[in-house]
Amino acid sequence: LDIGTGTGIWPIQFGDEHPEAEVIVGNDLSPIQPDWVPPNVKLIIDDVELDWMEPEKYDYIHVTYTGVVVWVIGRRLIS
């Protein structure tokens, strides 16, 4: 899971480098991601500060440049 994915560059590169990975999810509030992504990448337009509709659990969570939002999200992911 890439929180605050922006253009989606991290999940796209990770998906290309790790085709064996099942699903790499990128999440961002702004719809600025490209139309084409590797088949194992899913980009979601959503506000991570609101309740999440997806019940999935994640093996790895990547977060950069999000500041205080990390505290709110981290508490939700751990609980």
pLDDT digit string, tens, across residues 14-69: 999 999 999 999 999 999 999 999 999 999 998 877 877 667 788 888 887 766 56
CA distances from 59 to 23, 24, 68 (A): 11, 10, 22
CA distance 10 to 77: 20
* pTM attached to this predicted model: 0.77
